[in-house]
Amino acid sequence: MEYRFDIANQVLIFVVLSLSLNLLIGYAGQVSLAHAAIAGIGGYAAAKLAIANGMDFVPSLVLATLMAAAAGAFLSVPALRLTVQHLILLTLAAAVVLVTIANSTRDLGGAYGLVGMPVPSIFGKSLAKPSQFFWFLLCVSAICALLYWRLADSPYGRVLRALREDELAARAVGKNVFVYKVQVFALASAMAGLMGALWAYYLRLASPVQFNVTQSLLLVTMVIFGGMGSLLGPVVGAALIVVSSPILEKNLDIGAEKAALIRLVIYGAALVVLMRLRPEGLIPEHFSFRRALARLGLPLPGAGAAAGQQSPPPAAGAADPAAPAGPGQPDAGIDIAARTPVVTVEGLRKAFGGIVAVDGVDLALRERVVTGLVGPNGAGKTTLFNLLTGVIPPDGGTIRLKGKDITGMTPDAIARLGMARSFQDVRLFLRMTVLENVMLAYSRHPGEHLPLLLGAPLATSRAERRARELALECLSFVGLVDKAGMLAGGLSFGEQKLVAIARLLATGADVLLLDEPISGVDPQWVDRVALVIRALPAQGKTVCVVEHNLYALGQLADHCYFMESGRITAEGSLQELMADPRLIAAYFGA
């Protein structure tokens, strides 16, 4: 019986370790090969506090958890600007360094580790036997699993998945990438450190073998095997791999050392086969038991359309997919000069080495006016958008939004102040649903902030309902409310462009910068996208459009700037600009 409890204890420890790693890899897209080493910090801290300082069981667990969280947050800082490949190398190096320190430090027991930890007890009850330790470990694991579920299946988890998909797009809708990365590293490390401390107490020792790079790779295997980004996948992956170890040792009738080597070969082969046959893992991210039973011919009572696909009909004035009308015309009677400037740019400059991409640009985006930015390829239009939205810092000049100097601010800060942008390549979160893409842009969601998510569940629930309502309103406006439950990656390019506009609307920004919203769109979608853009000023939006489709731009823009060689060289209506032979020659390269 104690043997079974021993296996169960190992399963619980590795399940929580896998869940915490899944927060990093599956949700936030931060691959770490130092997770076992971080758990080792918790294990060694608990062992040192218990042996050398005589600290009680629970206080040592708390301190060990905090130390591991601090180590994870520290590790996250240099990782903030790294690509996935470099992050793997960084965390691998960190794991090797930590294990080497443990192996070579006398005060940490060297290669043998810290032995002789006291028998843990809670409320005066000894946890010496596996069966006694199990119930305490089960309670702690359940708390960790509930915390994991609360984080993953929440607005906070939605932001983490957005970071995994596209950090720049997440910043463009107002998400502070720095804060989320540090938080998720610290949270995952805290859970790992707690399990490392419990593992050390369970074995009565903390040794380098428990927390080496092989263990980190094993944890990654568990997450991938079960299904990255899945709520239950790591549980299944960890349980299968841990339970298989004693089965292999028993059936092969070989020593533990040889069994460990054979086990690694089997796990590697199984992982290769799984990646070929089912790359998303045993339980994929969007796995639904309801759909699985339906495919087997066993539909559940009440099964209908998936959540998120039922929504109100398009609002009055929304873009109707079947509407035959064209995009309409700019308001010929509009007095551009009388409109209040919302964005003013003065002397903006940016050079890349010896190439001046933006050279002393002055312009104004006026309230509820669609402004076109036209010019040949390489004129600096997208670079100007990048400067306006903080993607790159300017070398000189000023940018003011509603009178506030925003020069050099970060993209997320500028988006929160009321200026948001789309991208040439759309940059939707393709593995998230259309509804989630738009809900993510809701800027006043307490559930996206860790303290409020955990401390104010009612406010979070109310905000989630409001975010859903707003997202459906925005999707109704662009005529895609019927696509709300689809993955964004399954949409046509024209539909993706419309979702990008809906996402901008959900930010609540007053100024929308659209980078080639029509270019590359199938002809049958051009009028529909243009119709949506033309309706934005009536919603109180100030719009700036970069577009190479001159026919569509002529239907959209109230006023245009002509940009060439990094400078604004002319302004007026598009018809006036295109009547100038010099500008025609500059645009078409004649």
Q: How far apart are CA 285 and CA 278, in angstroms?
A: 12
pLDDT in tens, 157-200: 999 999 999 999 999 999 999 999 999 999 999 999 999 999 99
pLDDT in tens, 23-80: 999 999 999 999 999 999 999 999 999 999 999 999 999 999 999 999 999 999 887 7
Which of 152-161, 279-288, 544-553 is predicted least confidently? 279-288
Report residue 585 as tokens: 């020659």
Taking each helix axis as running N to C, give the angle between helix 213-226 and helix 35-52, from 0 to 180 degrees, rounded to the nearest 10. Answer: 130
Coil, helix or strand at residue 287 = coil
- Residue 450 phi, psi (nearest 5): -55, -50
Altogether, the residues listed in the chain come to a count of 590
Domain boundaries, the chain: 2-210, 340-588
The whole-model pTM stands at 0.88
C-alpha dihedral sign at 97, 100, 104, 108: positive
Taking each helix axis as running N to C, give the angle between helix 233-252 and helix 256-277, from 0 to 180 degrees, rounded to the nearest 10. Answer: 140
Strand duo 542-546 + 370-374: pairing: parallel
Q: How far apart are CA 418 and CA 508, in angstroms?
A: 7
Mean pLDDT of the residues in the chain: 88
- In the predicted model, what is the mean pLDDT of residues 307-323? 40
Residues in contact with 150: Cβ distance below 8 Å, sequence separation at least 6, in sequence order: 453, 454
Specify the residue for token string 């590697």: 268
Coil, helix or strand at residue 31 = coil
Residues in contact with 20: Cβ distance below 8 Å, sequence separation at least 6, in sequence order: 35, 144, 148, 187, 188, 189, 191, 192, 195
The pLDDT value given to residue 392: 95
Residues in contact with 100: Cβ distance below 8 Å, sequence separation at least 6, in sequence order: none
The pLDDT value given to residue 310: 38
Tell the CATH superfamily of the 340-588 domain.
P-loop containing nucleotide triphosphate hydrolases (3.40.50.300)
pLDDT in tens, 348-374: 999 998 899 999 999 999 999 999 999
Q: How far apart are CA 72 and CA 68, in angstroms?
A: 6
User: Do 127 and 203 contact (CB within 8 A), yes or no?
Assistant: no
pLDDT in tens, 381-403: 999 999 999 999 999 999 999 99
User: Do 172 and 420 contact (CB within 8 A), yes or no?
Assistant: yes
Report residue 354 as tokens: 């010896």
What DSSP assignment string belongs to 528-588? HHHHHHHTTGGGT-EEEEE-S-HHHHHHH-SEEEEEETTEEEEEE-HHHHHT-HHHHHHHH
